[in-house]
Structure 1
Amino acid sequence: MPGQTGETHRGYQRPRLCYTNHAQYLIYARPFIESFEETPMLVAVLTYMGYGILTIFGYLRDFMREWKIEKCHIAREREEQKDFVPLYQDFENFYTRNLYMRIRDSWNRPICSVPGATFDLVERSSNDYNWTFEYPGRVVKDVINLGSYNYLGFAENTGACATAAGEVTVKFGVGMASTRQEMGNLDRHEELEKLVASFLGVESAMAFGMGFATNSMNIPALAGKGCLILSDELNHASLVLGARLSGSTIRVFKHNNMQSLERLLRDAIVHGQPRTHRPWKKILILVEGIYSMEGSIIRLPEVIALKKKYKAYLYLDEAHSIGALGPYGRGVVEYFGLDSKDVDVMMGTFTKSFGAAGGYIAGRKDLIDYLLTHSHSAIYATSMPLPVVEQIITSMKCIMGKDGTTIGRSRIQRLAENTVYFRRRLREMGFIIYGNNDSPVVPMMLYMPAKIGAFGREMLKRNIGVVVVGFPATPIIESRARFCISAAHTKEMLDRALDVISEVGDLLQLKYSRHKVLPSLDRPFDETTYEENKE
C-alpha cells in the first residue's frame, strides 16, 4: 500500500495521494494526485520585503500628494461630505492607489473577437501610470488565449452552436422581458432543464440566468437561522455571499482537509447550537468540484462518506468541473464514479464548458419544486435569453452524443490530453504548479508583486494572453498566473505557449521548484486513459 507523501501549504499538510490506509483506498477507484509545493523560504522573505518596500513608498507618495507635490487621480469625497464616514476602507484605498495602479494594465484588457483558442486584442497605452488609458485604434491579432474558461471550445462563432443560436435570435429575438413565473417561461427553457437533469442523472433541474446568482440567491432559500453551514476556506465568493445572506451560522474548514471537516461535524453534533445547545435544524456542507484559484479537485468520496456518517446535506458547486471532468463530461461525480443521488444539491454554470451564460440547480424533484417558489433568483430575475438557451442545449447535446456525432467526446478527451501534457511540461521546466493533475485550471506561482505585472506584459509582447492574479484574490504572498486549458488548443499552440513561458520564466527567474521532474516520453491519450488510471 502506498504511503502518504505531502507538501505543506498554508500551515497544514496537503497529501499528494488520496489514500493512506485501506479504508481510504477502497473509497477511491483511481489515484488522486495533487501538488502544492511549499513556498521556498528565500522567495517568501523577498516577497514580504517587496510588499514592505511598496508600502513604504506608498506612504511617501501619499505624503507628496497631500502637499500637492504629486497629482492624485483617485476619486475623492465631495467637500460637503468631508466629515462623513469614509465610503471605502482606508487600506483598500491605499492598496488601490499605490499597488494595484502600478499593474492595472494587466487586467480588463478589451478584446474584439471570439474568446476561442486565439483572440484579437485592442491595444491601449497610459501616460499617467495606469490611471487612464488611451486607445490608438490598433489591434493585436491572433493572441493565444490561455485565460478564458473555454474548456471544451464551444465559445465559437461558427459551427452547430452558433448556427442554432443565430436561428433562434432571428425567430424569437434576444430579450425575454419577463420572469419565468410570469410571461417568460418558454418551452425551450423547460427542454433545457429536462436535458440538464438527463445529463446529470437526477430527477429534475432548474436553470438561472446568472451563475453567480445561482449560488448567492439559492443558498439563502435552502438554509437560514438555526442552520449550520460548513464552508471550504477557498470557496468562491458567490458561495460565501450566499452563506452570509442566509443568516446561518458559518464555520470554515481547511481547504480539502477531511480531518478539519469531520472535526467541525463532530463538534456540531455533540454541542449543537451556541448557548441553547439545541440540535442544528440543518447542516449544509458547501464545496466546489474544481477550485478556480488552486486547480484542486474536491475529495468527493470522502466528503460523501462524512456527509452520510453525520447526516448532513451536501451542496456541490460544479462551475468549473462540469464538462471538464469525467469520461463523458458529467463532472466530478462521474470523475470519481459516484452516484449523483448522493449529492443533495448539484450546482453548475453554463459559462465555462458550454460557452454560454447562466447556471443550474439539480437534484430531487421536491428540491426543485421548493426552489421554484422560494428562490429569489427564480421569482424576481428575468428569464434566460433564448439564444443563450439554444447555445446550451446544442452544446450539451453535442457532449452527450445526441447530435449523432462524436465531436463532444473527442473534445473531452482532447481537453484531458492537453491538461496532462501542459501540466507535465511546466513541472519539467521547474515551475511551481498547484492543483490536481487532471484539472484544466493550472496556477503557476509568481509570488513577488513586481512579477505579477511583468509576467503578463512580457507574455503579451510575445502574443500570449494570460491571467495574472494577486491580492486580495489570493493570499498576499501567493500571487500567480492562472492558465485555463481548452480542447480548442492544438499541440502546436501549447508548445508555442510553453516555449514562451519558459523564456519569460528564465527572464523573470520564476522557476522556483526544488523538485526536479525528468522529461518523459509523450504517449497518446486515448479514450481508454480513464480506465487505465484505475489500475
Structure 2
Amino acid sequence: MAFDFIQAALAARRKDNVFRQVTTLDSAVGALIEVGGQHYLNFSSNDYLGMRQSTAVMQGWVDGIGQFGGGSGASPLVTGHTQAHQALQDHLANALGREAVLLFNSGFAANQALCQALFQLPLGSKSATEGFIVADKLMHASLLDGAVASDATLRRFAHNDCAHLQKQLDKIFAGTNRPTQDILLASEGVFSMDGDEAPLSELAVISKQYKTWLMVDDAHGFGVLGKTGMGAVEKHGLNQQQVPVLMATFGKAIGTAGAFIAGSRDLIDYLTNFAKHYIYSTAMPPAQAVATLASLHTIEQNDQRALLHDNIAYFRQLTTAAGVAITPSMTAIQPIIIGSPEQAVLISQRLRNMGLWVSAIRTPTVPKGTDRLRITLSASHHKKDIQALVDALVLVMGEKKSWVKIGE
C-alpha cells in the first residue's frame, strides 16, 4: 500500500520519546499562558522583549487594518505591496545601513529563497557555475534545507570554529580549477538552541580573505543586540560590504511575524526577480507591516532591552549560586543540557506540574545526546518569576533518583 512508511515513522518517533505534538493555548497575557484551563509562567516564548502585546504593536494592527483591511490580497509583484510594506523596508534599510530590504512571510521562506535563488541552474542550461554554501554546523534547518534544495554544494564547519572553517574553504579552493567567487558563508548571530553568539568579526575577516559573501541569520539577535536593537551586525559594527546578506525575523523580539533580507540594491532586485518564495506568495498583511514598524520605533526608544539583559543576569546569578549547571550563553536563550529525550520530557512535565512552562527540546532538533530544557527569558518576566523557576529547577534536579517514566 502507498505510503506505508508513515505509520512506521510515527511509531519510531514515539518509541524514541521524540514524538512531536502541538499545544493549544487558551490565552496568553504577558508572561502567563493558559493551557487546558491551567495557568503557567511561560519560559518558552521567543517574545524576548514582551512586544507582542505592547500598546504600540496592538495599535499598529488596529491602524493597519483600518487603512488596508485584513490582508494584502495579492503577491507583492501584483497588487500586494503597499505603502506600509515600503515604509517598513525603507526604515530597515536606513537603520541597518543597507541599500535595500525585501520582506518575506517567514524566516524559513527567506532562507530557502536566498539559497535557491543564488544557486540555481540558468534556464536552458545543463550545468551551473560551481557554487558552495559553507554553513555553521548548527545553522537553522531552513538554511541547511535550502542549501540542499539548491544547486550549490553544501559544506559545514564545526560550530563557531574559525580554524575548521578555513580548512573547509582551503579544500574548496584546492579542489576547483579556478578561484570561485560563488561561495556563501553562513552563520547565525545568536544560535537558536544554544544561545551563544557567532564570532562575526572574525568571520567577516575570513570572508574577505577568501572573497566569499558572509550571510548572517540574525533571527534571535535582531531587536535584542546592538545599541539600538538592530542586532548582531550592529553590535559588531559590520557594514554591508562585510556582511552582504543579512536575514532576520519579526516573530521573536519584534513581536509580530514575517522576515526580511537586507543587502545591496542589486541583491534585492535579483531576489525580487528570481526568489520564488517572494514572487509566488501572497504578501504579508499590510497591518502586519504597520505593527512591525511601530514595534521597531518603540524598541529604539524604550528600556525593554535593558530589562531583558537585567533578567538574564539575574537568572545566571541565581542558577550559579544554586549549583544548577548552565551553559555560557549571555542571551535570552538559556539551555540546560539533560542528554536524554526521556529525562528532558520528564523534567519538563515536573516543572509544568509546578506551574512553569519550560519546553523539552529533543533530537533531531538538537544533536543526539544534547536533549535539553530550552529556557527563554523575557523582559515580561518579574524577578519573582525567575526566582520561582530557579527554585523549581533545584527541586526537580534533586529528584533524579526518584524519576519514573511518565504514565507509570
Instruction: Give the distance between the partners of 2:215 and 2:401, measured in 1 at CA.
Output: 41
Corresponding residue for 2:173?
Answer: 269
Q: What SS does the corresponding residue of 2:338 show, helix, strand or coil?
A: strand
CA drift of 1:458 comes to 1.1
Instruction: Give the distance between the partners of 1:227 and 1:308, measured in 2 at CA.
Output: 17
Tell me if 1:191 matches 2:87.
yes
Q: What SS does the corresponding residue of 1:412 show, helix, strand or coil?
A: helix
Instruction: Give the distance between the partners of 1:340 and 1:498, measured in 2 at CA.
Output: 41
Corresponding residue for 1:309?
Answer: 209
- Per the normalisation by structure 2, the TM-score is 0.91
Corresponding residue for 2:377?
Answer: 485
Of the candidates 136, 141, 148, which is equivalent to residue 244 of structure 1? Answer: 148
Tell me if 1:336 matches 2:236.
yes
CA separation of 1:447/1:168 partners in 2, compared to 1, >3 Å: closer, same or farther?
same
Instruction: Give the distance between the partners of 2:63 and 2:87, measured in 1 at CA.
Output: 17
Q: Which structure's relative contact order is higher, taking Cα pairs within 8 Å and 6+ residues apart?
A: 2
* Alignment-mate amino acid for residue 320 of structure 2: R
CA drift of 1:435 comes to 4.3
Unaligned runs of 5+ in 1: 1-80, 123-138, 402-406, 511-535
Percent sequence identity over aligned pairs = 30
CA separation of 1:451/1:239 partners in 2, compared to 1, >3 Å: closer, same or farther?
same
* Alignment-mate amino acid for residue 261 of structure 2: I
CA drift of 1:239 comes to 0.4
- Per the normalisation by structure 1, the TM-score is 0.70
CA drift of 1:203 comes to 1.5
Range with bigger deviation, 167-176 or 180-189: 167-176
Instruction: Give the distance between the partners of 1:509 and 1:316, measured in 2 at CA.
Output: 43
Corresponding residue for 1:172?
Answer: 68
Of the candidates 430, 452, 462, which is equivalent to residue 354 of structure 2? Answer: 462
CA separation of 1:89/1:265 partners in 2, compared to 1, >3 Å: closer, same or farther?
farther
Range with bigger deviation, 184-193 or 159-168: 159-168
Of the candidates 278, 303, 307, which is equivalent to residue 414 of structure 1? Answer: 307
Alpha-carbon deviations, 1:202-259, whole Å to 9, x = none? 1111111122101112221122441011011111110011111211011111011001
Alpha-carbon deviations, 1:390-432, whole Å to 9, x = none? 220100011223xxxxx2xx11111111112213322332333
Question: What are the equivalent positions in structure 2 for 1:223-372 lying under 5 Å apart?
Answer: 223-224=119-120, 225=128, 226-272=130-176, 277-372=177-272
CA separation of 1:115/1:332 partners in 2, compared to 1, >3 Å: closer, same or farther?
farther
Q: Is the Cα–Cα contact under 8 Å of residues 115 and 145 in structure 1 kept in the other structure?
A: no
Q: What SS does the corresponding residue of 1:197 show, helix, strand or coil?
A: helix
Unaligned runs of 5+ in 2: 121-127, 403-408
* Alignment-mate amino acid for residue 371 of structure 1: L
Over alpha carbons, which structure has the higher Rg? 1
Aligned CA RMSD, in angstroms, stands at 2.0
Corresponding residue for 1:4?
Answer: none
Of the candidates 357, 371, 378, which is equivalent to residue 278 of structure 2? Answer: 378
CA separation of 1:96/1:324 partners in 2, compared to 1, >3 Å: closer, same or farther?
same
Instruction: Give the distance between the partners of 2:29 and 2:336, measured in 1 at CA.
Output: 22
* Alignment-mate amino acid for residue 317 of structure 2: R
Q: How many residue pairs are counted as aligned between the two chains?
A: 394
Instruction: Give the distance between the partners of 2:13 and 2:323, measured in 1 at CA.
Output: 33
Instruction: Give the distance between the partners of 1:267 and 1:330, measured in 2 at CA.
Output: 35
Corresponding residue for 1:447?
Answer: 339
Instruction: Give the distance between the partners of 2:189 and 2:41, measured in 1 at CA.
Output: 27
Range with bigger deviation, 294-303 or 215-224: 215-224
Corresponding residue for 2:293?
Answer: 393
